[in-house]
Structure 1
Amino acid sequence: MRLNLNSNEESDIKERFVNGVKAKTGLVRINDSNRGSIAVRLVLTLECLKLQKKEDVDNHPSSSSSAEDTLDNFQPSPNYYLRYVTVTRKNGSLGISVKGGRENNLPILISKIPEGGAAHNTKRLFVGDAIIKVNDHLITNVCHDDALQMLRSSGHNVTLLVKHYKAAAPFLLGPRGNNNNNNGESEEEEDDVWVDFISIPLLMGYVTRYVQGTDKLRRNGFEVHGMNGTNSSIIHCDNVNSLSEWIKCITENIANLAEIQIKLYNLNFGINEKIEYMGWVNEGVLNNNHPWQSYCARFMIIRGRDVLLFDTPPMSISEWLDCEVVYKLYESMLRVVKDTENVDQRQNCFLLQTCSGVSRYFSMETKQGLLDVQCAWHRSICTSMMNIKSRTFYVLHGNNQQPSNLILDWDNGFTLYDNWTNSNIWTYKFSELRGSSDDHISRLKLHFNNAGCIETKELVCQDLQSLLFCVHAFLTAKVVSVDPSYLNTDSIQQ
């Protein structure tokens, strides 16, 4: 997947606990039909991606108030210099934001107290208060993230020992009572009120940077689609590193969930029916009314001897059994399309060719996704051919076109069996095949190495394409069985 933005900015994605769950968070933009481009927060957990909007809260005095009036509202009287304050959470929140920490050589300072929140209702906490203890646990020498975790896990009723730093209040409030992010301090957003408005389960979901149905890559945006039909709309990132990291993290979470789901499914399948791959691919579809190719998302499963294609992920046994598009692996071939052969701007493409003459063109979102499909295909081919052991094809050989059987056998290789004499005419190992040629109709020439000499055997087969694909499947399986490292993604990169 190509990233076209040029930026040296670091990713602004943070890792924190949200409602007690470890998550990655960050601000992005989406387009709203009523409000135009709006800022939202992404919250990524192992199983879900949430888009959140910030709930509007009037935290600040009116614009007519002076900076001095603002500070007066937040400065305690002298007898509040060192004190205990008990805060009862409201909607799970203490109602404070904090800055500072050991990494900044600062105490944990209250930087914001939204009006109407739990802390505001006590009337005894103020911007500029340093938190000394949380429920008798000293936090004067902890880092920012550890302090946040202690505050979040401190229970419903929290007793804080605080000490006011009068000089810190103007610094934290800024000239008009707003929070500033100065001197490298990290501003905590968790106590702001964020409300979920889109929640996308990642199991059997997918990420795409392409404009729907086209080969056009979005410069700074992506979409996330869930199997339940939900989608994220177009998520825009102004930071190229954040864009790259979001796509990478979401894709990895989807892949991890798919791997777990595959293991669960495989508990119900026999050793020769295991799922090796399950995920979304993009199929190029020619439209007779237009000169260009459009793309549709297909859900591909490589299982046992079959490759299955669905419009939506199967959710029941009946849906598995009723799949309308099923191809046998040993009667098909997966061929990676070189970059110079791509039909348009889509990258990471491959062809699924079948013996019936059907050829389907697919594109993956990432190079790694393409390698995953290749590896799964090779694993399934190896398992299938070792289990099948042999395949027999009716052929004609010789000048008088004698009817015979060409037997492809896992142990013996190629054997031509004469049906008239009931005897083997010749046998060669798979490793002795040096090449082949055909007329794309029925005539096939096989070139074998026999003690340093090339011997050519000419056959006529009405099921030529199926024979060729089956030969390819046996040869691929042999290579994989001899060299298991061939299944590693590094060894099959083009």
Structure 2
Amino acid sequence: MSAEGSQSLVAPRGRPSHLLVPARTKTALALLYDEGLENAYDVRLKLTKEVLTVQKQDVICIGGAPPGANHRTVTLRRQPVGGLGLSIKGGAEHGVPVVISKIFKDQAADQTEMLFIGDAVLQVNGINVENATHEEVVHLLRNAGDDVTITVEYLREAPSFLKLPLGSPGPSSDHSSRASSPLFDSGLHLNGHCSHTAPSSPSSPIANEPKYEKRWLDTLSVPLSMARISRYKAGTEKLRSSAFEVLALDGTSTGVLQFPTAQDCADWLRAISANISDLTLQHMKMANKCCSPCDQVVHMGWVNERRQGADSPQNFRSKFLALKGSSFYIFSTPPVSTLDWGRAERVYNLCEVLFKVHKFWLSDNYWLQANLYLGLQDFDCEDPRSYCFSVLASHGKSHIFSVELGSDLAVWEKSFQRATFMEVQRIGSKTYLCSWQGEMLCFTVDFALGFTCFDSKTKNVLWRFKFSQLKGSSDDGKTRVKLLFQNLDTKQIETKRTLTNPAVKTSNRKTASLDRTASASF
């Protein structure tokens, strides 16, 4: 994919090539793929800090009195050498109009300055050819006499299989004649059937005729604030090949953007994702100005949540997650106002959930896609998506999420760790009812002191260990928690098994979650 204009990448001295810094505006050519019609059209993408713009080529009038319609009528004088100076492709038999596919420099068509590659031929000498086959139009043009009047209109969505060049018209490298085919150029640059061989004056623009120019014009602009990216085909779990679509907060979609190589696709995916992340960070900073220090937004963004037990072929649906203060939020749409924070689908206390990574990012362009069950044997973690994580809550409730990039997964993991650490640090300590060696006791996890087990009636401390003495922990997923501590005096490992009180069974996940959080964070 060729870079144009201001999208060049700048590599500061000492910066690796894979960390090139994109300029403010990035542009490149791509295909806009219609999954319904299974066809693609050439487009140009323009990426700025806040907007992704899709552009299509069109022919516009830049001087003179423009005609009342988009049609242009041009009279060509067939030349003894070079003929009409153009080639055509397409035909009704393939469901596309006949279009000009080549214009030869300094020949008849080029000298008019009114014809362009991509023009659909509508009429030849007053005869409508919009529904004509390729051979019919070729025959008509070659037998139309010395002066040929054609009416054309630029085809903005020329199917990509026509392989029309997008650059400036220039001389063809192949001037040989070949069998006429809708997918190959039928050259009309030869002598054809002209009635004489005497030199004729070439076609030339008339002074009062309007002047035209082919340009890239904006057709769709997608705001990137709170936008999301999807690499999967709608309604399926099938990953698109070197393609994705961008969907704005209001539902506006770019359509499926197809790239020539996987590297080009990855480059644009990262660039757009980075701009979305930057805008999300700005939104977080604005929101945090209205929040107390203990209720700050740590991270938020789009993910896909796996539907539990759904028979639908589309097992994932878009969700917006947020880590704010003491809570983990799940939204169907992003919170854009203060009131929206009260409209979450689900809210969990960070000290009562457990974050688990299923697959993770290994290095710059290589991804380690290995299932990491880490004790999650009670539910199915097998899914077709690459970068997944789960959040376990009380009563065995779980949510499985996927993200588009491995770097996104790394950010979510780090953000959960940070948000949980901040909440544990803020609350200081938490006490749970439990049983140990058949006695009803209290078990406290304290940010400063570590773990303490004491009699609920007498308050006598039975044992106490620091976080540094915790060497391992496990649970049965129901009521039992096992903690392995190292005795500082004997250097031996002591095992402490606790059983949550059946009457307060809801504290089951709280115990495991807070214990594991503390051991990982301190």
TM-score range with shorter-chain normalisation?
Answer: 0.5 to 0.7
| Aligned counterpart, 1:24 | 26
Task: For 1:201 and 1:424, locate their aligned partners in 2 and report how far apart those are by CA, in whole Å.
Answer: 59
Change beyond 3 A, Cα 1:326–1:56: same
Change beyond 3 A, Cα 1:59–1:245: farther
| Aligned counterpart, 2:427 | 388
Change beyond 3 A, Cα 1:287–1:30: farther
| Aligned counterpart, 2:471 | 434
Cα deviation, 1:373-411, whole Å, max 9, x if unaligned, reads 011111111111111100010112234x2x221111011
1:55 to 54, 58, 66: 58
| Aligned counterpart, 1:278 | 300
Instruction: State whether structure 2 residue 451 is matched by structure 1 residue 407.
Output: no
| Aligned counterpart, 1:297 | 318
Cα deviation, 1:120-142, whole Å, max 9, x if unaligned, reads xxxxxxxxxxxxxxxxxxxxxxx
Change beyond 3 A, Cα 1:435–1:476: closer
Instruction: State whether structure 2 residue 344 is matched by structure 1 residue 354.
Output: no
Instruction: State whether structure 2 residue 513 is matched by structure 1 residue 476.
Output: no
| Aligned counterpart, 1:220 | 242
Change beyond 3 A, Cα 1:30–1:56: same
Cα deviation, 1:7-51, whole Å, max 9, x if unaligned, reads xxxx3233439xxx9522222112357894221221111100111
| Residue 212 (structure 1) shift | 2.6
| Residue 449 (structure 1) shift | 0.9
- Structure 1 segment 121-200 matched on structure 2, within 5 A: 174-175=170-171, 192-200=214-222
| Residue 174 (structure 1) shift | 3.5
| Aligned counterpart, 1:458 | 497
| Residue 293 (structure 1) shift | 6.3
Q: Provide the alpha-carbon RMSD of the alignment.
A: 3.0
**Conserved in 1, the CA contact under 8 Å of 2:59 and 2:214?**
no
Task: For 1:210 and 1:381, locate their aligned partners in 2 and report how far apart those are by CA, in whole Å.
Answer: 31
Cα deviation, 1:439-462, whole Å, max 9, x if unaligned, reads 433233322111212222232213
Cα deviation, 1:302-348, whole Å, max 9, x if unaligned, reads 11221111111112211112212111111111111143436233101
Instruction: State whether structure 2 residue 352 is matched by structure 1 residue 313.
Output: no
Task: For 1:173 and 1:294, locate their aligned partners in 2 and report how far apart those are by CA, in whole Å.
Answer: 48
Matched residue type, 2:521: A
Change beyond 3 A, Cα 1:423–1:225: same
User: Per the alignment, in what secondary structure is the counterpart of residue 313 of structure 1?
Assistant: coil
| Aligned counterpart, 1:424 | 461
| Aligned counterpart, 1:257 | 279
**Conserved in 1, the CA contact under 8 Å of 2:74 and 2:114?**
no
| Residue 173 (structure 1) shift | 6.6
2:232 to 203, 210, 215: 210
Q: TM-score, normalised by structure 2?
A: 0.62
**Conserved in 2, the CA contact under 8 Å of 1:405 and 1:419?**
yes
| Residue 419 (structure 1) shift | 2.2
| Aligned counterpart, 1:364 | 403
Q: TM-score, normalised by structure 1?
A: 0.65
User: Per the alignment, in what secondary structure is the counterpart of residue 395 of structure 2?
Assistant: coil
| Aligned counterpart, 1:242 | 264
Aligned pair count reads: 354
Task: For 1:434 and 1:35, locate their aligned partners in 2 and report how far apart those are by CA, in whole Å.
Answer: 58
User: Per the alignment, in what secondary structure is the counterpart of residue 516 of structure 2?
Assistant: helix
Task: For 1:113 and 1:346, locate their aligned partners in 2 and report how far apart those are by CA, in whole Å.
Answer: 55
| Aligned counterpart, 1:125 | none
User: Per the alignment, in what secondary structure is the counterpart of residue 291 of structure 2?
Assistant: coil
Task: For 2:351 and 2:242, locate their aligned partners in 1 and report how far apart those are by CA, in whole Å.
Answer: 41
**Conserved in 2, the CA contact under 8 Å of 1:412 and 1:429?**
yes
Matched residue type, 1:47: E
Task: For 1:372 and 1:15, locate their aligned partners in 2 and report how far apart those are by CA, in whole Å.
Answer: 33
Task: For 1:325 and 1:65, locate their aligned partners in 2 and report how far apart those are by CA, in whole Å.
Answer: 73
**Conserved in 2, the CA contact under 8 Å of 1:15 and 1:22?**
no
Task: For 1:280 and 1:387, locate their aligned partners in 2 and report how far apart those are by CA, in whole Å.
Answer: 27
User: Per the alignment, in what secondary structure is the counterpart of residue 268 of structure 2?
Assistant: helix
User: Per the alignment, in what secondary structure is the counterpart of residue 456 of structure 1?
Assistant: strand
**Conserved in 2, the CA contact under 8 Å of 1:206 and 1:225?**
yes
**Conserved in 2, the CA contact under 8 Å of 1:59 and 1:113?**
no
**Conserved in 2, the CA contact under 8 Å of 1:220 and 1:238?**
yes
Task: For 2:352 and 2:465, locate their aligned partners in 1 and report how far apart those are by CA, in whole Å.
Answer: 22
1:44 to 42, 47, 50: 47
User: Per the alignment, in what secondary structure is the counterpart of residue 412 of structure 2?
Assistant: helix
| Residue 368 (structure 1) shift | 0.1
- Structure 1 segment 338-349 matched on structure 2, within 5 A: 338=359, 339-341=369-371, 343-349=382-388
| Aligned counterpart, 1:445 | 482
**Conserved in 2, the CA contact under 8 Å of 1:12 and 1:242?**
no
> Which sections of structure 1, spanning at least 5 residues, go unmatched?
1-10, 72-110, 117-171, 177-190, 479-494
Query: What's the % identity of the aligned pairs?
Result: 29
User: Per the alignment, in what secondary structure is the counterpart of residue 376 of structure 1?
Assistant: helix
| Residue 195 (structure 1) shift | 2.9
| Residue 115 (structure 1) shift | 5.7
| Residue 220 (structure 1) shift | 2.3
Change beyond 3 A, Cα 1:387–1:213: farther
**Conserved in 2, the CA contact under 8 Å of 1:287 and 1:293?**
no
More helix by share: 1
Which of 384-393 and 50-59 deviates more? 50-59
Change beyond 3 A, Cα 1:404–1:287: closer
Matched residue type, 1:466: K
Change beyond 3 A, Cα 1:293–1:351: farther
Matched residue type, 1:271: P
Matched residue type, 2:329: L
Task: For 2:290 and 2:28, locate their aligned partners in 1 and report how far apart those are by CA, in whole Å.
Answer: 40
Task: For 1:380 and 1:429, locate their aligned partners in 2 and report how far apart those are by CA, in whole Å.
Answer: 22
Task: For 1:358 and 1:173, locate their aligned partners in 2 and report how far apart those are by CA, in whole Å.
Answer: 63
Change beyond 3 A, Cα 1:272–1:430: same
